[in-house]
Structure 1
Amino acid sequence: MTTPIYDTPILGMKTRPRVDETVVYGNAGNFWVEYPTGLVDLTRSQNLEFHKAGGEVKNVKATPEPPALDSKTQVEISVNGDRTIRVDAAKTALVVIDMQNFFLHPDLRDHPKGLACVDPLLHAIPPLREAGAKIIWVNWGLTDHELHTIPPGLVRGFMRGSRGGFGGQLEGNFGRLLMRDAFNSELYGPLQPEYEKGVKLGTDVWIHKNRMSGLWGPQTALDLYLQEQGITTLLFSGVNADQCVLGTVIDSYYRGYDVVLVEDATATTSPEGGYENVVYNIGNSYGFVTDSKRIASGSAANH
C-alpha cells in the first residue's frame, strides 16, 4: 500500500526527494530557491519567478540551473538530506547558546557531551569569521532588576528544593548564579579567549538573555541586533539542545529566520531521545542540519 501524500512530512528535508524542477518558496521580497541539483539558495539574491519588464513585475518560468556562486560574498554548506545550502555570509551568524561555566565546568556540572562540543565549535568558528559571518554568543546574564521580573516557573526550574536559584551564591569563586560578570556566567575554558579574540577582530558579539529563549520577545537584545545587522540565516550550537537552544531555534523559525543546526556542536543532559528529537525536528521541519566539518570545508572551499 502506498503512503498517502498527506502522511509525508510537510517540510521533510531529510526524507524528501530532490525537486524535479526549480522551486521558489516565499514571495518576491523574502524567498528561497531550490534546484534539482540539491542546492537550496537562501541568499535571497535572485528570485527566478519575478523580474521587471517595462516597469511591471511579471512572473517568469524559473530556470533549472542555479546561478554561479559569488565566492566573495556567498558560502555553500552541505547539510543532511542530500542538500547543499547557499548563504550570504554577511547575513549569516553562528549563534552559540549557553556554553558557560555553569553548564559545562566539571566543578559545577557533569556534562561530558557538552564538553565534547567545544572542539567542534572551535573548528567551525574561524572559517565562518573568515567568510564574513558574525559569531553571536548568547548567554544567561542577569541583572538584579531582572531577578524580580522572571516568571515563577522559570525561577522554580533553576532551584533545587528551596535552595539556590538565580542570583544565589555558588561555592568557590564562581560567583552568583548566572548573574552578569560572574565567573560561572563566563564562557567555558578556551571559549572565553576565543570570544575575546573575535571581539578584537570585530566579528563576535556577546548578548545577554533572561529567558530560555534568546528571542522570546520582539525587543530582546538578540532580536534587535539581528534586525540592525540585516542577518537572515542563523547557525545554532550550544547547550542544552532541547531547552535553551531549541527555544531560541523555534522562536527564530517563527520570526522567519533561516535555521541551521550544527549537530556536533550541540548537546544536552536530557535522557536519550531529547537530543535526537531536536535534530530530527530541525532537519524535518524548522530548517537544516549540518556539522562543523562541513561548515569548515564549505567555507574554505569558497574563500
Structure 2
Amino acid sequence: MTGDAALRPLGSSPRNRWQVDAARADLVRQPAPSRPIRVDAGNKEITLDLARTAIVVIDMQNDFCHPEGWLAHIGVDVTPARAPIEPLQKLLPALRAEDVPVIWLNWGNRPDRLNLSPALLHVYNGDGASVGLGDPLPESGAHVLELGSWSAATVDELVAEPGDIHVAKYRMSGFVDTPLDSILRNLDITTVLFAGVNADQCVLCTLQDANFRGYDTILLEDCSATTSPDFCMQATVYNVRQCFGFVVDSANLLAGLDEATGS
C-alpha cells in the first residue's frame, strides 16, 4: 500500500511518518537514500551517512561567549569560547546545503527557576549571594541563561536559519528532561556531530549521553572549545576518541563533503 495516493502522510517529519486514511494505516517508513561521505578522523578514516546525520551546536550563547555575558562578569576570559565561531560560520551553511539538520541546544531556564535544583544553582554561586543561574547581571539586568533573555541568546555572529531546530536545556546534558532524543529519532538520525562550549562540560556530557543511547558520536574539535585549563580539552579529546566516538576537524569534514558532492 506504500505510495497509495489515497493515503495521507501522518508524522512530524518526512523521515518518520505513516500513510493513513479512515480504514488503513501503512506503517512502512520510506528510508532516505544513503549519502555516504569519507572523513579523516586522525587515527582512522570514517564513513558517515549524511542522510542520517545532524549537528548539535551547544551553548554558543552570550552568557558564555560574549565579553558582557555571565562568565565574563565573574572574571572568566571568554576568548577561548569564541574560537568555534569562525569554523562554524563556514561549516553550518555547507551542512544546511546538504540537508543536514542543525540543532541549537542552549541553556534556557524558566523565569521561576523551578527546573533548576540547588546543585545547579550552586554553580558559580557557592555563597548564595553571587550572580548565579537566573540572577540579573549587574550591568545589563539580563537574567543569566533565562529563556528569551539576551543572556541566553546565541551570539550574533552565529545566525540561525528558519529551518534550524532549537532545544532548550537545563542540565549539563542536553538529553536530560528535554525533547532532544525524540527529535533526533523523528529525524531518523544515527550520527550526531557535536560542537560548542564548554567542550569538557555540556558538550561532553551531551555527547556521552548520545553514545549511551546508541548514537554514533563525532566531536568537531575546532568547532568546540572550553574556558577550562588546557588539560581539560586534552582529556576530552582523548576520552571521546578512546571511549565514546570520533574526533574530527571541520576542515576534514568539509573536504569529505566536497569529495562526495564534486564541489
Q: Which residue of 2 aligns with 1:76?
A: 38
* Contact 1:75–1:131 under 8 Å retained in 2: no
Secondary structure of the structure 2 residue equivalent to 1:164: coil
Correspondence for 2:130? 163
Work out which of the residue numbers 238, 246, 250 in structure 2 matches 1:288. 246
* 8 Å contact from structure 1 (residues 118, 265) kept in 2: yes
Q: Provide the secondary structure at the position in 1 that maps to 2:195.
A: strand
8 Å CA contact 2:39, 2:253 repeated in 1: yes
Long gaps (5+) in structure 1: 1-69
| Residues in 1 aligned to 2:86 and 2:121: alpha-carbon distance in whole angstroms | 32
Q: Distance in 2 between matches of 1:155 and 1:170?
A: 15
TM superposition shift of 1:71: 9.6
Q: Which amino acid aligns with 1:103?
A: F
In structure 2, distance between residues paired with 1:174 and 1:206? 24
Indicate yes or no: 2:74 matched with 1:126: no
- Structure 2 vs 1, CA of residues 187 and 174 (structure 1 numbering), >3 Å: closer, same or farther? farther
User: AA paired with 2:54?
Assistant: A
String of CA shifts for 1:60-85, please: whole Å, max 9, x gaps: xxxxxxxxxx99723222212032x2
Cα distance, 1:251–1:130 mapped onto 2, change above 3 Å = same
Give the partner amino acid of 1:186: A
State how far apart, in whole Å, the 1-side matches of 2:94 and 2:39 are: 12
In the alignment, structure 2 segments of 5+ residues that lack a partner are 1-31
Q: Paired residue for 1:245, among 200, 203, 207?
A: 203
1:222 is aligned to 2:184: no
Check whether the contact 2:92–2:102 (CA below 8 A) recurs between aligned residues.
yes
What TM-score comes out, normalization by structure 2 length? 0.80
* Secondary structure of 2:142's aligned partner: coil
CA distance in 2, matches of 1:123, 1:174: 33
Aligned to 2:236: 278
Q: How many residues get paired? A: 223
- The 3-state SS of whatever aligns with 1:163 is coil
| CA distance in structure 2 between the aligned counterparts of 1:103 and 1:184, rounded to whole angstroms | 9
Q: Which amino acid aligns with 1:107?
A: E
Structure 2 counterparts to residues 96-245 of structure 1, below 5 A: 96-108=57-69, 109=72, 110-145=77-112, 147-159=113-125, 161=127, 162-173=129-140, 175-191=142-158, 194-195=159-160, 198-199=161-162, 202=163, 204-217=164-177, 220-245=178-203
Q: Report percent identity of matched pairs.
A: 37
TM-align CA RMSD: 1.8
Instruction: Assess, with a 3 A threshold, how the Cα gap between structure 1 residues 228 and 71 changes in structure 2: closer, same or farther.
Output: closer
Alpha-carbon offset, residue 223 of structure 1: 1.2
Shift of 1:113: 1.4
- Letter of the 1:159 partner, please give it: N
2:138 and 2:42 map into 1 onto residues whose CA distance is: 43
